[in-house]
Amino acid sequence: MSNFLPKRLIARLDVKGENLIKAVHLEGLRVVGNPQEYAIKYYEDGADEIIYLDIVASLYVRSNLVDIVRKTANNIFIPLTVGGGVRSVDDVSSLLKAGADKIAINTAAVKNPSLISEVSNKYGSQCMVLSIEAKKKQEGAGWEVYTDCGRESSGMDVVDWVNQAIRLGAGELLVTSIDQEGTKKGFDNDLIQAISSIAQVPIIASGGFGKDSHLLEVAEAGADAIAFADALHFEKYSLADLRNLALKSGIETREYA
């Protein structure tokens, strides 16, 4: 996707049950607080978008997100992307009716790729966000697609899966590096660059932000948006800090009054 468009600064909120949680490598979940309260705070602080992910929903064949989304959507007026445990067009419909703007799907899309087309055809490609949990291959170059909160290997190459998913109608990609997630050691910029070189849809980079230089590096790798979690949750950075950092780094962001 074009690197000339303004970069979006997104607050990512992983939830389990009714709690906002944070993990490292998608494991070792730590309770942070009430997700609605954090979402409202990030909206008021200038987030361009909010992402809600029930990261364990696919493991337990359930999702508690409809109630959380309904409560949140009444108080924020920026795009809200929601994912976790979405297995059908009916699930998508329920979340959209609750107030979601876009739906992120990982596990169910891998198991049933036609779901991507079903969602895209009914609600538009802009609604269909492919969520990708990527991990470096143990042997050879490249990355493998994982599902079920990073627990299950799919055997699929990430770049091949991106090509297939875009053909089927995915309109945006949420790319989480399992290797980097929660480490604060930086994004997997090679992963983002590999995807951006073949994807003509927006890419949200997630997993690894920890210091100033990471923002510029992932933007230069081709990310159209950057998702932040524990840097915000634990107040190492505010959204104003991130916007100012982007400005100082020569990264254009959306205007915020």
Assigned domain for 254 exists: no
pLDDT at 30: 72
pLDDT at 57: 64
Assigned domain for 104 exists: yes
Report the Cα 34 to chain-centroid distance in Å.
Answer: 19
The burial of 196, by beta-carbon neighbours within 10 Å (0-12 exposed, 13-18 middle, 19 or more buried), is given as buried
What phi and psi values does residue 29 have, to the nearest 5 degrees?
-65, 135
Assigned domain for 227 exists: yes
Domain that holds residue 85: 8-248
Quote the number of domains for the chain. 1
Cα gap 153→42, rounded to integer Å: 33
Name 4's Cβ contacts closer than 8 Å, sequence gap at least 6.
none
Assigned domain for 56 exists: yes
Cα gap 203→8, rounded to integer Å: 10
pLDDT at 23: 63
Assigned domain for 169 exists: yes
Active site residues: 14, 133
Assigned domain for 24 exists: yes
pLDDT at 58: 54
* pLDDT averaged per 10 residues, the chain (length 257): 78 88 63 89 96 74 76 94 93 96 96 98 98 94 91 94 98 96 94 97 96 97 96 94 95 81
Name 3's Cβ contacts closer than 8 Å, sequence gap at least 6.
219, 220, 222, 224
pLDDT at 226: 98
pLDDT at 100: 97
pLDDT at 60: 55
Cα angle value 40/46/50 (rounded, 5°): 55
Q: Are 106 and 56 in contact (CB under 8 A)?
A: no
CATH number where 147 lies: 3.20.20.70
pTM over the 0.85 mark: yes
Assigned domain for 253 exists: no
Assigned domain for 1 exists: no
Name 124's Cβ contacts closer than 8 Å, sequence gap at least 6.
171
